């Protein structure tokens, strides 16, 4: 039997979520908030020798090329589109080109900002091998993925890798659930999902690991944050690491498509 796998992914994006709550931030501040969280996060991952996947926007990478280049020496860099807000059909191709020029490494995966649908044709034409733009739950005001597959599946020569949800009730395993669910319950859901599917795919944002007070965000988005959230993640990763092997989405995709 194959070892259970842990797919840890982060959306490396401009911190523009306050814009949705009538608090516009200058672009330099959006970038700096994300980078502050990234520094804390990468220290935690390095301490535990955990490899993960960072879906970076081209805008973030162009504003912090050295940080993204160094990140790509250890972790997988995938595309999170050109900019976190707005979309053009050329974005998958343009973002891939920018990220590959900065990291000098091939980019295999794509995740749409806010899990917006993206045409497989655009991803195939740009040269991606996997798409992680699905969260198979209903999130009011965002998307409804209740009828989408829960597990990774092929669509032609492209692999789709949804964020993990539990069997039966589709309890989500993404960042909002992690923040708003008591840790023992979240671990129970994670263990159930891991045992049933053989892998667990989680998603967070580096900006979550900074102090989010003063940005006008509702509590269900902003709390916990900073060091408190980092400590909670560290405890969870220690628990998960005893039950599964961490790998990147690119390696998971390559093994899946080779079957």
Q: How far apart are CA 194 and CA 201, in angstroms?
A: 9
Q: Give Cα separations from 108 to 48, 111, 213, 249 (angstroms).
A: 25, 11, 36, 9
C-alpha count within 13 angstroms, C-beta hemisphere, residue 57: 24
* pLDDT of 228 higher than 60: yes
Q: What is the pLDDT of residues 97-141, one digit of tens each?
A: 999 999 999 999 999 999 999 999 999 999 999 999 999 887 776
The alpha-helical segments, DSSP class H, found in the chain are 27-48, 58-63, 65-71, 91-103, 120-126, 175-180, 183-197, 219-222, 226-241, 249-257
* pLDDT of 1 higher than 60: no
Name all domains of the chain by residue range, CATH numbers in brackets. 5-257 (3.20.20.370)
- The percentage of residues in the chain with a pLDDT greater than 70, rounded to a whole number, is 98
- Which pLDDT value is given to residue 2? 73
Instruction: Give yes or no for a contact between 249 and 10, defined as CB atoms under 8 angstroms apart.
Output: no
Q: What is the pLDDT of residues 179-216, one digit of tens each?
A: 999 999 999 999 999 999 999 999 999 999 999 999 99
Site of tokens 């959306």: 11
């Amino acid at each position: 039997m194959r070892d259970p796998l842990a797919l840890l992914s982060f959306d490396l994006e401009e911190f523009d979520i306050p814009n949705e709550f009538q608090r516009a931030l200058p672009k330099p501040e959006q970038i700096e908030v994300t980078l502050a969280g990234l520094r804390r996060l990468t220290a935690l991952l390095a301490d535990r020798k955990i490899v993960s996947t960072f879906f970076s926007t081209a805008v973030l990478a162009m504003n912090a090329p050295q940080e993204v280049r160094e990140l790509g020496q250890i972790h997988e860099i995938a595309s999170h589109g050109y900019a976190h807000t707005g979309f053009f059909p050329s974005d998958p191709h343009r973002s891939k080109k920018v990220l590959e020029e900065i990291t000098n490494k091939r980019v295999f995966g794509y995740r749409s900002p806010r899990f917006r649908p993206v045409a497989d044709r655009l991803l195939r034409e740009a040269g991606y091998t996997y798409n992680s733009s699905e969260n198979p739950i209903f999130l009011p005001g965002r998307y409804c993925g209740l009828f989408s597959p829960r597990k990774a599946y092929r669509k032609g020569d492209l692999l789709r890798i949804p964020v993990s949800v539990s069997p039966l009730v589709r309890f989500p395993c993404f960042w909002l659930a992690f923040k708003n669910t008591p840790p023992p319950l979240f671990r129970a859901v994670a263990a159930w999902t891991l045992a049933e599917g053989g892998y667990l795919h989680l998603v967070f944002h580096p900006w979550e690991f900074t102090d989010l007070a003063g940005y006008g965000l509702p509590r269900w988005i902003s709390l916990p944050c900073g060091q408190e959230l980092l400590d909670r993640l560290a405890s969870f990763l220690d628990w998960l690491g005893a039950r599964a092997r961490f790998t990147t989405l690119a390696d998971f995709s390559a093994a899946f498509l080779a079957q």
